[in-house]
Every structure is written in C-alpha cells, then in structure tokens.
Amino acid sequence: MNLLSAPLSVGSVSIKNRVVVPAMADFGMTRSDGLVNERHISRYGAYAKGGAGLIIVEACSVARFQENRGTIVLDSDDCLPGMTKLAKATSDNNAVALVQIMLTGLSVMPENSIAKISRERFLKYKADFLAAAIRCQKAGFHGVELHAAHGMYLDEIIETSTRSDEYGGCFENRVRLLEELIREIKAVCGKDFLVAVRFGSPDDLELLKIAAAIEQASADLLDVSTGMGRYQNVPDDFSFDSKIHAAALVKKQTRLAVICVGNIVDGQQGEAILKAGYADLVAVGRGHLCDPEWANKALAGVRPNPCLRCNRCMWYVDGRKCPAVSRKEKRI
C-alpha cells in the first residue's frame, strides 16, 4: 500500500493524503495593512490544486506591533473577508487548511524579556491568541497551528521564562501557557476544530517533555521542527535529515499524528519515511515553492521540479523569484 496517498483521520477531519504544505511566511507578499490579498489566495489555491492533503497557512500574527515584518495580522475582524476567501481557495480543492498563529520573538515586541512583560499585557497576549483562533474558525478554516518553535513568543516562554508568577521557572510553569491555549481554543471552538502545535528543542528530553504536555492538553497534531540548525544526537546510520530523527523520537512516544519536515525531495523519500514509522505526515516546503504541483506529481510517481538548494527563499518566500521556477519558465 502506498502510504503517501493514504487518507488520515485526525479527530473528525479526514486528510486525503499525507503531503503537507508547511507554514512559510512570505514577508514580501503581505502589505503594510496586514490583510490577505490576491497573491495569498492565488498561492494557496495553487497548493490546493496541486494535491496537498494539508495546508498550513503562513505564520499570522495575533497582535499588531510597529514592525510586523509584512505578516498577515489577525488582530481585528477586518481580516475576515480576506481570510474567508483564503479558506475557500483551499477547501474548493478538498485540502484541509490550518492557520499558523503566533507572536513574533521579543526582538520586535515592546519588551525585551518575558519576565518584564506585565501580567496584564501577558494575559492580553494570551487573549489575542484565542481571539485569532475564533476568527480563523469564522473564516472557515479547519483549525489552527500554535507556533511554539524557532524563537517565537511561545517558544521563548518555554525555553527561557524566568517570570515570578505561574508562567515562569520550572518546566511545568513554562509550558503552562501553551497548555492553557490548547484547552481554551478547544473549549471555545469545539472538539472538531483542530489544534496543531509546531514545536522543537535540540535536547531530546526537553523535546519529549514538550510533546507529552501538548498531548495531555488534548491537541490534535504534533508538528516537529527543530529549526535551521542540525538536530543533536542523530545516529550515524540514520539516512534522513536530522529534523526527521527528532520527529521519529516523538512518534515513538505519542498517540497523536506527527508531522515531520526536513529536505524531503520526492515521493519515494516521503514514502520511505512513512513506512519506517518516523511520522504520519510529511511536510514539504521548498519543494512546493519550486512546484505547486509537488503533491500530485509525487503521488503519481513523477519527480517534481527539483529545488536547487540555493536558500534564496529563506526569508522572502516568493515562488516567482525561485531560480528553479525561472529556469523552468525559460525552457517553456
């Protein structure tokens, strides 16, 4: 049986295959108003038409700061018309769509330390996450992904919080906000509204502790991503990217569906990862930038338009600027 093409039930939602378009923020696509525009709708519609089973919309900020680096912002109902169009562009092609919601790291926030954030503002940020999730549900998305990795706000709390209240100090306190957000989103939006969490840690024990806390809080999906650096403690004979090894560790201990990511170039590689039991879904980022039809081609046994590994898309995700795409267009 071809696992890559097999459907997967997550809660009450059926994902038609195991190919995921992960959240990739295009800081050059969003205007200063922070609202969805036609480029977003065209981009995600192309991924849905291209056959991906699960699409995670790029990191959207739950609050507006002076510098939001061109991200979509979900801080008011002004976002709903555009987000509704975006949800429809994916659902029309039978893809399941989540929205990654986040607060950026401290570098663009008024405070430069988690400990320095007043309790009033800390709880306001928490309320912002819940309000953003409600807006995503109103827009028609199947759920949200809490971004708790890569130095984002939730990640910094888990890794560094020295607050003197119940959100700082020991691990149980540092992970408390994430657990509360999962439970409260589920309570308000309902059990059928999916909650995924992107998380990671270079430390095995910390990684598994975070995964266990997320599962205990009744999330639906674990999206394991240890960032751009190499994950530690990878056996020499492990034949895939180090980040996939991190996902495999989590998969061994959890009953939840696990998403892995890490230099997956074609369907054969994705199939091998699934058959090895390292994950339940495979996320392909740069491959979809090069070729929005990546899923359809991989599922058909056709090699997608290959990524050149030039890393030009590292911060400004724009498929139109991808050299692999330009090279293909010149041939046409």
User: What are the tens digits of pLDDT across the range 114-167?
Assistant: 999 999 999 999 999 999 999 999 999 999 999 999 989 999 999 999 999 999
Residue with tokens 């195991």: 18
Phi, psi of 19, deg, nearest 5: -95, 130
d(CA 3, CA 222): 19
Confidence of residue 305 (pLDDT cuts 50, 70, 90): confident
Q: Above 60 in pLDDT, residue 87? A: yes
Amino acid identity of residue 182, one-letter, is I
CA distances from 83 to 41, 73, 98, 188, 209 (A): 9, 10, 11, 20, 34
Q: Which residue has the higher pLDDT, 309 or 148?
A: 148
Structure letter (DSSP) for residue 107: G
What does the block give as tokens for 296? 């359809």
Q: State the pTM of this model.
A: 0.93
d(CA 16, CA 104): 32
Cα 182–chain centre separation: 15
pLDDT tens, position by position, 269-303: 999 999 999 999 999 998 998 899 999 999 999 98
Q: Which of 230, 222, 178, 221 is nearest to 202 (CA)?
A: 230
C-alpha distances out from residue 65 to 34, 79, 112, 316, Å:
11, 16, 14, 20
Strand 19-21 to 13-15 pairing: unpaired
Q: How far, in Å, are 83, 106, 190, 196 from residue 137 at the CA level?
A: 10, 27, 10, 14
In the beta sheet, which residues pair with residue 146?
A: 101, 197
Instruction: Provide φ and ψ at 172, rounded to 5°.
Output: -60, -35
In Å, how far are 125, 137, 259 from 116, measured between CA atoms?
Answer: 14, 32, 34
17: left (phi over 0), alpha (psi -120 to 50) or beta: beta
Question: What's the mean pLDDT in 198-214?
Answer: 94
Domains of the chain: 8-331 (3.20.20.70)
**Quick check: 37 pLDDT over 70?**
yes
Q: How confident is the model at residue 18 (pLDDT cuts 50, 70, 90)?
A: very high
Task: Considering only the C-alpha atoms of the chain, give the largest distance between any 2 of them, rounded to a whole number of Å.
Answer: 61
